[in-house]
Structure 1
Amino acid sequence: MEADLNMHRAFGIAVLAAMFLTPAVGAEAPAQTMSVSLAREVASKTVALVESRGLYPRQQAEYDRARMALLAMFDGQPLEIDRTGLYTRITGLLATLDTNGHSFLIPASHDLTTRSTQSTSNDLPPATFQVLQTSKGKVLRWTPPPVVNSTTMALGPYLTRFHDEAGTTPDIADACALVVDLSEQTGGNAWPPLVAMYPLFSDANNAMWVDRDGKRTTLMNRAGLEDMRQRAGEGRANPLNRFDKGPLAVVTDKRTSSAGEMLLIALLGEARVQTFGSTSSGMTTANATYPLPDGSTLVLTQSRYALGKGPVIHGGIAPMHPINPGESLVDRVASAAEWVAENSASCRATGRK
């Protein structure tokens, strides 16, 4: 089933961009050089992946020059290749792609998975819940924290903290509307928070992946998210179930980036959503990760996003309700909470003050 395939391939998507992850504890630094045969394998696999799956270059001639520079390292039949030089030329190749700088190489001395396989619920920041009082009633604010781990191991601990904190938040049952605050979503793995918020998505969600040839694939599927939740072993009732209908407010920030923008686009796929805050950072592309023969990892941008049949999204996403000069995060959250309470039938029905 296509939707199910999307859900399972997507744990490699939206990996933390524009920074190298912390080296694995105890990992040895790789040698400064590598054999020419290994270096050739790294270069060849990179080129093959870029040309078969990556977004197209901004200018083909620019890409061709970078490709020639990479392959020129093997001229003259050297016995060894400088690792830093190889990585620099691969980075130059990736820089020619139309990806907003979102494709990059993680060196062999940095590890995507070692820490995640040791993850426990205590390794993750808590999913922040707060009940806000508005003029029309109480509103729940949820600020999903970012997740650096890119593997499925991150999901179970994330959901545990999500449910544990919801269960200890005073007055959460009194909230008549919801604000999702993406101001802390600075990048990483989008799927744990997406699974946590699965009740907010409907079958009519129109968020799309768009590949390099323009083919559009549905991004969200509530049944698929529910299946992922069950496989993670979390059986408690989701505290967001009550907000599956009615208006939904979303707060954005200029730091909302990469995985955070994937969450934003998924939420914008619901017609009931209104956004408040600042334009997001502009890392609005989706990545997949590929191990390379020397232990390094290629993070390759393979698609962009769109809403329905609308234009493909490039760059930052502007809010529907921009902040005014001098407004703080507290101000924009308060504005979002007032709007969602004012427009919520649940708030009007309860008449809470």
Structure 2
Amino acid sequence: MREIRHGFHCRRCVTVAASSSQPSVAADPRRAVVSSGAGDKLEICRVVNGMWQTSGGWGRIESNAAVDAMLRHFDAGLNTFDLADIYGPAEELYGVFINRLRRERGEEAAIQARGLTKWVPSPVKITRQFVESSIDRSRKRMDVKCLDMLQFHWWEYSNPGYLDALKHLTDLKEEGKIKTLALTNFDTKRLEIIVNKDIPIVSNQVQHSLVDMRPQKHMKDVCEQSGVKLITYGTVMGGLLSEKFVDANVSIPFAGPALDTPSLKKYKQMVNAWGGWDLFQELLKTCQQVAMKHGVSISTVAVRYILDQPCVAGSMVGVRLGISEHLKDSEAIFQLKLDEDDVDRIGSVISRGKDLMAVIGDCGDEYRRA
């Protein structure tokens, strides 16, 4: 058994101490298994369909077209969807989708789908009744008896109510309302506190891209020792990591591609904090050279690079359901194998960017600044 660092003393460490830094992978390399020492586990697709785009700002979502698109993703083997109680109609869309699967394909097909939702409560007093009613609302919207995964977000660490919430969520998991319990945007310090309290966390969803390598600084060490995996978002930076933005001038209105979605605006700010547009262009062109070598897209290279990082179980690709799809690019992610030269070339550009831990803080700190 490996030595447990960081003062871990919880029972789960005995269970996972022999695990490697790479995600637990099922027989199909497209899949990963996230689990805790409590014995609960969930198999997910390593490319996760992100549904933030249903919340507005990316174009109107038409329900029937969106559900048709979800079925196409499911049929392509991309069976895992990431949603949240605050993503507009995302949970309701999942409910319609899962019902169509049951009706048209049968219950056996429906149980293969994965809905990873989030609970993002307002900073209010946490009671058992409040937590349970919130979870019941998501179960009703998604039309499931048991949530595959509940990813919990907390706005303010000075309010220790997050530990109360996690205790109630753990109780609800034991009662069968939640299959696996996870976090989203928690920093390393709080993740370690939670793990040391024997709370059965299976994953932490964090921002992670070629520009934002913060999860590999300190959080990776906690994950390696606890067995907690990372599910990443922002991996293609809302589309910035694509051919569309090679040689693009975004500083002059109408001179280049518009930064016209919430995600493009958000991740352009990350580029500014990391090293600016000129260095980002070098990163894009390096990724383009690697992409051309393998006959894939820049975004495919970007996702593959992050999936190959320690402790990463899955990475998000945003889907504009019924508007645009990336099925071919997502399929290519599974086929792509970056060689040592590819990794070194990309890494040499990444290393020239600023340390975002020093500029922004740890994972999720960007959401907790005044």
Q: TM-score, normalised by structure 2?
A: 0.27
Looking at secondary structure, tell me which structure has more helix per residue: 2
